[in-house]
Amino acid sequence: MTAATGQRVAIQRDNLDGRFRVVFAHGAGAGLQSDFMQFFALGLALHDIEVVRFNFPYWQQFMDTGKRRPPNRMPELEHCMLTVCHQFNDDKPLIVMGKSMGARVAFRIADAVQARAAIALGYPFHPQGKPAKLRLDDLHNHCSQNLIIQGDRDPFGKPDEVKSYTLPKNIQLAWLDSGDHSFVPTKRSGFEKSQLWQAAIDRCVRLVHNSAPLQTSNE
């Protein structure tokens, strides 16, 4: 796929026959092939869900050249994800999802692609160490339901902070015990990383399957 910069970016599709489609955007520090992205994509794909991952242009440049670059500006990130979503012309129910920075992009474009829902995996409610610089405006869209899954140790939005925010009414908020921004627990918690990741997948699956009614035959 060619992004707004004219650069070709990689796309990975899992379970093309899935009844639902989730377009999944990566975070600022890792691309579509990170352990986190792969675990979630393959986990969702086991539940009748097609998952479409892609690299944002700045990350594709890093993959092509080995030189790290800062993320593209938000309009370029949005254009890239919009382009991915618009390449499909079927009527498969669409859900947009992202990790951290990718979640901001997903929520911002949800209306433009007529998504049934938006999902955030670790939403960056504010930059780390800057709790007064909130990013709540990005959360407003017209989806019937949205989901934010957040580790309760996330420095980008901890429970005591988030409970003071006025969030849109179409957002469900789910906390993962002892999870950080990538849902990695502490050793003393007794949890394994895979347990928290699977719990997050299970929550995502419920929302995706509830986003569109089953079609029934008239025969």
At 31 the pLDDT is 93
pLDDT in tens, 9-35: 899 999 999 999 999 999 999 999 999
Q: Is the pLDDT of residue 153 over 90?
A: yes
Average pLDDT over residues 66-81: 95
Residue 120 pLDDT > 90: yes
Q: What is the pTM of this model?
A: 0.94
pLDDT band at 217 (very low <50, low <70, confident <90, very high): very low
Tell me the one-letter amino acid at 208.
V
